[in-house]
Amino acid sequence: MFRWASNIIKTIDERLTCLSPFPIDLYQVHQPYGFSSEINEMEAMAKLVQAKKIKQVGVSNFSASKMRNAWETLQKSGINLLSNQVQYSLLSRKIETNGVLDTAKELGITIIAYSPLAQGLVTGKFHDNPELLKNIGYRKHSSMFKPNGLEKSRPVTEMVKKLAMKYGATPSQVALNWLIHFHGDTVVAIPGATKARHAEENTGTMKFRLSSEDMRLLDEVSVGFKK
């Protein structure tokens, strides 16, 4: 996780060999923790683009200021910062108030939302069947899965389930649909899939679109998760 900017260049050939014959379309600096500044790291990434070893540059969990620094550094070489991969869901909306989303919209950077279903919590399955909480592993330590956390998120999950019935969809599809449409083209999601049926369910998200009114309802009921 902790890295030198120079290692970005030193390790790329090995990565390309491991991935061969597939190219690296998007190369992301994963996590903003390093022994080098984001400016030095982006200068290294720019060299990889210029050498045609990668096609696009992204980052992960960068703050608004670090994201802007990365974008400005790449722009000096005529390169765009394509993405910032951050946690974002109906139950985790901090990027809407800490400047990350606004900066992404301003600079044309795509937000890649990880944990878009809040580790399954937004579907309401843990609210409906508390017995499932016994088998959630490390998640049991999160305040979201404690009794108070479950009660806080219950209104959101109830609205998600209500809209799922309206659209003939699943709760996860509704939650993902809101995520990828509420901010226009700025946000894409990377939901997890441990089974083939999960992947099939995720793709079903693209078969419908929530109305503006229904997206507004989800926005209002989850406003408390912007903090």
Per-residue pLDDT in tens (0 to 9) along the chain, 227 residues: 557 888 999 999 999 999 999 999 999 998 888 788 999 999 999 999 999 999 999 999 999 999 999 999 999 999 999 999 999 999 999 999 999 999 999 999 999 999 999 999 999 998 888 887 777 777 767 888 888 989 999 999 999 999 999 999 999 999 999 999 999 999 999 998 888 888 899 999 999 999 999 999 999 999 999 98
Q: Rounded CA gap, 119 and 114, in Å?
A: 10
Q: Which 8-state DSSP code applies to residue 191?
A: -
Q: Rounded CA gap, 100 and 189, in Å?
A: 16
Q: Rounded CA gap, 133 and 105, in Å?
A: 37
The pair of three-digit structure tokens given for residue 10, joined into one six-digit string: 């030193």
Q: Rounded CA gap, 127 and 38, in Å?
A: 41
User: Residue 187's beta-bridge partner residues?
Assistant: 111
pTM here is: 0.93
Cβ neighbours of residue 32 closer than 8 Å, sequence gap 6 or more: 38, 59, 60, 61, 62, 63, 66
Q: Rounded CA gap, 180 and 174, in Å?
A: 10
Cβ neighbours of residue 176 closer than 8 Å, sequence gap 6 or more: 116, 117, 189, 191, 202, 205
Alpha helices in 90-145 (DSSP H): 100-107, 125-128
Q: Which 8-state DSSP code applies to residue 21?
A: T
Number of alpha carbons in the 13 Å side-chain half-sphere of residue 123: 19
Decide: helix, strand or coil at residue 19: helix
Q: Rounded CA gap, 208 and 222, in Å?
A: 21
Q: Rounded CA gap, 187 and 104, in Å?
A: 9
- Domain coordinates of the chain in residue numbers? 119-183+194-227
